[in-house]
Amino acid sequence: MSDRVIPLVDQRLRGLVARVPEQAIAANGLLGDTLGRPLRDLRISVTDRCNFRCNYCMPKSIFDKDYQYLPHSELLSFEEITRIARQFVAHGVQKIRLTGGEPLLRKHLEILIEQLSSLRTAEGKPLDITLTTNGSLLRKKAAALKAAGLNRVTVSLDGLDDTVFRAMNDVDFPVADVLGGIAAAREAGLGSIKVNMVVKRGTNEDQILPMARHFKGTGVTLRFIEYMDVGATNGWRMDEVLPSAEVVQRIHAELPLVQLDPSAPGETAERWGYADGSGEIGVISSVTQAFCRDCNRARLSTEGKLYLCLFASQGHDLRALVRGQASDEQLASAVAHIWQKRDDRYSELRASLPPDASSGGRRVEMSYIGG
């Protein structure tokens, strides 16, 4: 058997210049890309660090004790993040999701949430501010996050069996502590709690039904995510993908399901409700059923690069503008100029790409820009 070679490219050293167009582009909340997709969702990575070593995201073989994370001076400050976010909101962003790495590792994150919660859309409405976390620190921080203005939380949990879960996070972290974090989020009043399970064939597919049984009737929405070819370090293979259609079939055989309408334009998850009315699940099928045509999401990396696709290889450097004394008008124009040229639709094109292109050799790591 030949060895699998995983090419490594430090995306933090690569970046496209974010240019300010000669003619200012006014922000009117109606910004569209080349395919007519509006800008509605901004995902902000606040740290490149994580305390888990999940093999589909930050495998220990790469992210070991010698791995060099970004120094604090390279990270966007909370004030810089808020200033950039304000320009995105002016262009139509309605939801901001904080990600990582593990975002709760960023000290005093409640301050950033409080700053972001003060922003308003052009219609004067507050933003939907949410956060994705592995749940390890949620028990101690849920109340403070809610008080700062966080609306919702999504927790990553790849199985209920403690042995399976400890193996997948690869740091021997117990599932009970994540469940405790979810309970704390509910007690704090964080609404619409979601739990994301990445399904990897041959690893945790036997956890699908136990997870469905556990969260059914609790008010928590469980979502199953196809194992994706993000980055270069997870050694992704198509034969390890369990199609969402099969996930739905397995659950439906025991717990009958009915399909539900999307909750919002550009929704990534296909919704299925339990026939007895006791809740719902979602499936995110970015490998087998691409949803690029409705994608309205932009991603801001930890140190200020704007990525237009989860599978992108390069980002546009907004930090250089912010720290180079660009005005708000110039910053907003640069964002608009970048988005208007966007034509990304990797998931739709995946099947037609040559093998070396679809293997993810040069794409940005998910731990760097969030999921």
Is residue 328 classed as helix, strand or coil in its secondary structure? helix
CA angle 134, 291, 316 (to 5 degrees): 70
Task: Name the binding residues for S-adenosyl-L-methionine.
Answer: 56, 101, 156, 228
Task: Name the binding residues.
Answer: 43, 50, 54, 56-57, 97, 101, 132, 156, 194, 228, 292, 295, 297-299, 309
- Among residues 86, 30, 76, the alpha carbon closest in space to that of 328 is found at 86
Task: Name the binding residues for GTP.
Answer: 43, 97, 132, 194, 297-299
Query: What stretches of the chain show up as alpha helix (H) in DSSP?
Result: 78-90, 109-117, 138-148, 162-169, 175-188, 208-215, 244-254, 319-323, 328-340, 346-349, 355-358, 366-369
- Residue keyed to tokens 């000290």: 107
Task: Name the binding residues for [4Fe-4S] cluster.
Answer: 50, 54, 57, 292, 295, 309
Cβ-based neighbour number of residue 47 at 10 Å:
23
Instruction: Return the structure tokens found at 289.
Output: 């059923």
Is residue 95 classed as helix, strand or coil in its secondary structure? strand
